[in-house]
């Protein structure tokens, strides 16, 4: 069984200031998504599903299909690509949204856009985050082991200290789990940064506590999930409940952690996996030079070929 990779690429990246999913950062203008797909292929993924916006779908698909025209899976077969779109009006029948709403419905809504094209265990990633080869291997191994499973999911946890930005504070969801590595909750913290004393601090958005000392080895979410197909049916019902309470709201979003939390309360289990990889990405436009440098370093060390494809 070859799992599928679902790439969330519909966001514009307001803080970055442009369509960063298509920004060339590697030595030969490779994008972050290019490296993610390269790592996913080598980990054994067989299909890539992109969630994009309708207004740039044609351009995005044309570039992707041309770029990966000769991409092969581990078994030598061509890598399969599917493109779906996330739009505000793609909500279940019977609901009406506020006509003034402009903000997307969130990551869990984006995932639902792929419910008709994914029928096997699948992983989720952000299109603008670099996760590292080890992370994709950890995720792919879990997905293959749960080909026939239901009621179980996984989150790939990154050590907090491996996910910080040098350009400013970041928001991270700290994973809490029990002795069996089952997720109990994700606690959002804002403005996380390492300060002059070498310690990491952040603001707990749940309790309201400011400048809390955080363990840099704590596992946090970078929106890298492992899910089985039954997730779609459950999430769709949860989304209906969400809309019954929030369809007229302008800003409230339907996030993956929210959907997973509802499922956990219903008896499902989410396993917390761990990766040693160091995350990096372009949260801020100031991050770009450092990311370009890191890709150049990885190529120089032989971790990636150049050109990549």
Query: How far, in Å, CA of 222 to CA of 274, rounded?
Result: 12
pTM of the model: 0.93
The residue-averaged pLDDT of 173-187 equals 97
Provide the pLDDT for residue 99.
92
Residue 277: the pLDDT is 96
Task: Work out the pLDDT band at 24, boundaries 50, 70, 90.
Answer: confident
Higher-pLDDT residue of 132, 71: 132
- Position 9 in a domain: yes
Q: Give me the pLDDT at residue 286, please.
A: 85
Residue 10 lies in a domain: yes
Q: Which residues contact 31 (CB under 8 A, 6 or more apart)?
A: 21, 22, 23, 24, 25
* pLDDT of 107 strictly over 80: yes
% of the chain with per-residue pLDDT over 70: 96
Find the helix or strand (DSSP H, E) in which 183 lies. Answer: strand 183-194
Domain membership of residue 61 (yes or no) is yes
pLDDT by residue (tens digit) across 43-62?
Answer: 999 999 999 999 888 888 88
Q: What is the pLDDT of residue 13?
A: 41
Quick check: 128 pLDDT over 60? yes
Q: Which residues pair with 213 in a beta bridge?
A: 201
Q: What is the DSSP string of 18-87?
A: S-GGG---STTS--HHHHHHHHHHHHT--EEEEEE-HHHHHHHHHHHHHHTTT-B-TTSPBPEEEEEE--
pLDDT of residue 14: 39
**DSSP string across 228-257:** -THHHHHHHHHHHHHHHHHTT-SS----HH
Q: Is 167 a member of any domain?
A: no
Most confident of 71-80, 136-145, 282-291: 136-145
Beta strands at 170-177 and 183-194: parallel, antiparallel or unpaired: antiparallel
Residue 19 has pLDDT above 60, yes or no: no
How many Å from the N-terminal Cα to the C-terminal Cα in the chain? 24
Structural domain total, the chain: 1
Residue 136 lies in a domain: yes
Q: Are 48 and 40 in contact (CB under 8 A)?
A: yes
pLDDT of amino acid 12: 44
Average the pLDDT over 120-143 and give the result. Answer: 96
Residue 309 lies in a domain: no
| % of residues, the chain, pLDDT over 90 | 76
Residue 244: inside a domain: yes
> Strand pairing partners for 50?
7, 83
Mean pLDDT value across residues 64-71: 87
CA dist 214 and 303 (Å) reads 31
Q: Considering the chain, what is the average pLDDT of its residues?
A: 92
Diameter of the chain measured on Cα atoms: 55
Q: Is residue 94 part of a domain?
A: yes
CATH number of the domain to which 20 belongs: 3.90.550.10
DSSP element (H, E) containing 297: helix 288-300
Say yes or no to pLDDT of 18 above 60. Answer: no
- Give me the pLDDT at residue 64, please: 87
Provide the residue range defining the domain that includes 229: 4-157+219-300
Q: What is the pLDDT of residue 22?
A: 66
pLDDT number for residue 184 = 97
Q: What is the structure's pLDDT at 70?
A: 85
What is the predicted pLDDT for the residue at 309? 80
- Cβ neighbours for 116, distance < 8 A, ≥ 6 positions apart: none
């Amino acid at each position: 069984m070859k799992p599928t990779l679902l790439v969330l690429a519909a966001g514009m990246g307001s803080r970055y200031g442009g369509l960063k999913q298509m920004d060339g950062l590697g030595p030969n203008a490779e994008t972050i998504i290019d490296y993610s797909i390269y790592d996913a292929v080598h980990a054994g993924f067989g299909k890539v599903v992109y969630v994009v916006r309708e207004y740039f779908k044609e351009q995005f698909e044309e570039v992707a299909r041309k770029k990966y025209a000769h991409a092969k899976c581990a078994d030598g077969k061509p890598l399969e690509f599917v493109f779906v779109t996330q739009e505000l009006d793609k909500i279940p029948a019977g609901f009406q949204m506020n006509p003034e709403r402009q903000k997307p419905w969130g990551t869990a809504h984006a995932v639902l856009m792929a419910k008709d094209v994914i029928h096997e265990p699948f992983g989720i990633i952000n299109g603008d985050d670099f996760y590292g080869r080890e992370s994709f291997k950890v995720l792919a191994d879990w997905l293959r082991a749960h080909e026939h499973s239901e009621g179980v999911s996984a989150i790939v946890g990154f050590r907090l200290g491996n996910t910080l930005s040098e350009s400013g504070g970041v928001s991270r969801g700290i994973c809490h789990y029990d002795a069996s590595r089952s997720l109990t909750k994700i606690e959002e913290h804002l403005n996380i940064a390492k300060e002059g004393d070498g310690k990491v601090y952040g603001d707990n958005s749940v309790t309201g506590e400011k400048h809390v000392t955080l363990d840099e080895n704590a596992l946090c979410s970078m929106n890298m999930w492992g899910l089985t197909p039954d997730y779609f049916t459950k999430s769709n019902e949860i989304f209906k409940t969400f809309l019954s309470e929030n369809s007229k709201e302008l800003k409230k979003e339907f996030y993956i952690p929210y959907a997973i939390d509802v499922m956990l309360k219903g008896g499902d289990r989410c396993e917390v996996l761990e990766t040693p990889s160091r995350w990096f990405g372009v949260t801020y436009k100031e991050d770009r030079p450092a990311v370009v440098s890191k890709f150049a370093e990885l190529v120089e060390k032989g971790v990636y070929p150049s050109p990549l494809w």
